[in-house]
Amino acid sequence: MKPLADLVRPAKIDDVIGQDHILGKERLLRKLIESKHIPNMIFYGPPGTGKTTVANIIANETDKRIYKLNATEASTKDIKDIINDLDSLFAHKGVLLYLDEIQNFNKKQQQSLLKYIESGEITLISSTTENPYFTIFNAIISRSTIFEFKKLNEEDILDGIKRALKIAEEQIFNVHINYDEEALLYIAQVSGGDLRRAITNLELALYSSSSILGSDNFKIDISIAKECTQTSGFAYDKFGDNHYDILSAFQKSIRGSDPDASIHYLAKLIKAGDLLSICRRLLVIASEDIGLAYPNAISIVNSCVDAALKLGFPEARIPLAQAVILLATSPKSNSAISAIDSALKDLDSKNIGDIPFYLKDGHYKNSSNLGRGIGYKYPHNYPNNYVKQDYLPENLKDTVYYKSSSNKVETKIKEYLEKLKSGD
C-alpha cells in the first residue's frame, strides 16, 4: 500500500493546495502549464509545499517523459544514462528531468546539464530548499525561470488534511472516519507549513487507533493527534538560507525595539542549538544598533555571552534572553557603523591624500630631517586639553564621518564637542 501522502498527491493544478501566487488564475506558472510551453525552471521553497507534485503535473500535461533524480544520491553517470535513452524516446514530446535538491550537485555536475538544456533535448526542473542564488551555478540560473513555493498556512494544511481523510476513507479503510476539528487543527498547526508532514502525522494517527479496523465509529480526537505529533515542524539549517533569514529577523526585531519578536527569534535559534551564531550576532547588534546610545550595553552583552558560552544549553538560554531584552529595550544609534562605513567607502572611492606631516611618527632619530612631527600641537598643553588643528589628510579636510544620533548620551557628546571647539 502506498503511503497516504502519495495517494493524495494531486494530478491536476486545480487540486494543488496553496501557491496561488504562481498557480492561481492568470498567474505565470499556471499560464505556462496551460500553454504547454515549459521552460527550464527552478522551484525554490520549503519541504512539503508542492514542488514535486507540480513537476509531475507538468510532465503529464505536456506529454513529456519524466525522469526523477535526487542530487543527494545521483551522480553525473545518472544524467548520462538519461541522455543515452534520448534516441529511444520518440513517442514522447521530449524529456523532463526533475532534479530534487540540486544544491547538492557540485559545479561540475551542474555544468554537465548545460549542453542538453541549451539544445532543448532536456527540460530541467530543479528544486531546492535553499536560496538558488547562493547554491546554484549561475549558468543554470541564467537559463531558468525561478518560482518560489511559499510555506503553507494553517488553512491550506487543514484543507489538505481533510482531502487526505476523504481519500483514506475511500481507498484504504472503507469506513467513515469521524474527527474533532480541534484534532485536525492541531496537526495543521504543528506541521510547520509542510503538508506532507501533516499527512504523514495524520496517517500515523489513523493506524495508531486500535478501533480503526472494521469500525464504523472511528474518531480522531486531540489526544491521538498530540500523541502522533510530538514535535512541531520547525525547520532550521545552520548552513542554509533559513539560517540567515532567522538571524536577519532576529536583528531587525531588536533594532525595531520589539522585545517579544526578538525573544521569538531567539527561541528559534535556541531550538536549533545555534549558540555561536546567537552570541556573535548579539555582540554585533550591541555596537551596530545600540552603539553610543547606551555605550555600556556591549559590556553587559559581552558578560551575558561569556556566561552563555560557559553554561551551554539549556541554561545558556537565560543570559541570552537577558541580553536580547536589554538590547531590544535600549535606545538605538547606528552612528558608529555609519561613521566607519563612510570612512571605508572613501578609502575605496577617493584620492584621500597623505597623512599631515606633523601627525607622522617623529620619535626616531633624524625624523625631523624628513619633516616628521614638526609643528604638532600637544593638546594636553592647552586649556581643556584641546587645541584646534587639522587631523584629516588635506584632501578630506572638513569631512564629517561621525554624526551623532538624537539620544541622551550622544546629545551630551555633541554639546561637549561644540563647547570644546567654541573655546567656552
Structural domain boundaries in the chain: 19-148, 154-228, 241-328, 352-422
Predicted local confidence at residue 91, as pLDDT: 45
Residue 234: is its pLDDT beyond 80? Answer: no
pLDDT confidence bin for 322, thresholds 50/70/90: very high
Secondary structure element (H or E) that encloses residue 261, with its range = helix 259-271
Mean pLDDT along residues 262-285: 93
d(CA 391, CA 420): 16
Is the link from the previous residue into 259 a cis peptide, with omega within 30 of 0?
no
Number of helices (H) and strands (E) in the chain: give both, helices first: 20, 7
Banded model confidence at residue 213, pLDDT cuts 50, 70, 90:
very low
Choose the most confident range, by mean pLDDT, from 58-72, 228-242, 375-389. Answer: 375-389
pLDDT of residue 236: 54
Query: What is the per-residue pLDDT for 92?
Result: 56
Tell me how far apart the alpha carbons of residues 368 and 389 are, in angstroms, rounded to a whole number: 19
19-148 is classed CATH 3.40.50.300: yes
* Domain boundaries 154-228, CATH class: mainly alpha
Question: Model confidence at 60, in pLDDT bands (50, 70, 90)?
Answer: confident
* Percentage, residues of the chain above pLDDT 70: 93
Q: Looking at domain 352-422, does it have CATH number 1.10.3710?
A: yes
Residue 281 and residue 262: Cα distance in Å, rounded? 12
CA distance 298 to 301: 5
CA distances to 13, 97, 195 from 31, rounded to whole Å, are: 11, 20, 24
- Which whole number is the average pLDDT over 92-119? 84
Q: Kindly report, residue by residue over 335-374, the tens digit of the pLDDT.
A: 999 999 999 999 999 888 889 888 888 777 777 777 787 8
| Architecture field, domain 241-328 | Up-down Bundle (1.20)
